[in-house]
Amino acid sequence: MENLQIQIQPTFDAMISAIRGCDDDNFNKIPFEGSWTAGQVAEHIRLSVKGIPELFMAKTEKTDRDPEQKIPIVAGIFLDFDKKFQSPDFIYPEMKTYERESFVAFYSDYCDKLERTVAQLDMSEICLGFEIPGLGPMTRQELLAFALFHTQRHTRQMRNICNSLKFSE
């Protein structure tokens, strides 16, 4: 996957746009049984990506494999929109009222922080502080792919939720 770094800004701009595209009345509504609210989707992504810049700065080691080896696997998981998954408990969002603008601020700041962090690091090194369940140790580049593709997946989900609620009114 050529230069994932150039996808950071557009990915988080799209998330911010999706949040802003869902009005306050619908941001915390469940569109149909078994669905999350748009607020829960925004929180799920926040929980899943918030620690990545710090993880990138923590202990790493050189790799003896292709540092992008797992990117196609990550893409296959998160960019196949026909697949459905259960969220791990540690990133499962509470059912509560979420404030849209707090997410706009978070994602804007987060995007800047992620871009600054990625620009100064060797992205081929393996992060030792965390493993995504089922994928084993991953390089910074592979974890960046996770952050981007997972966010892209749920940005699409958020748009679908908000559109569903608009058309059901």
Cα angle, residue 140 at apex, residues 3 and 93 outer, rounded to 5°: 105
Q: pLDDT digit string (tens) for 77-99?
A: 999 888 888 888 889 999 999 99
Residue 26 in tokens:
């619908």
Domain locations in the chain as residue ranges? 4-27+35-168
For the CA atoms of 55, 115, 50, 93, the dihedral, rounded to the nearest 10 degrees, stands at: -140
**Which pTM was predicted?**
0.94
Q: pLDDT digit string (tens) for 22-45?
A: 998 899 999 988 899 999 999 999
**Architecture of the 4-27+35-168 domain:** Up-down Bundle (1.20)
Q: Please name which of 87, 93, 81 lies closest in space to residue 44, comparing C-alpha atoms.
A: 93
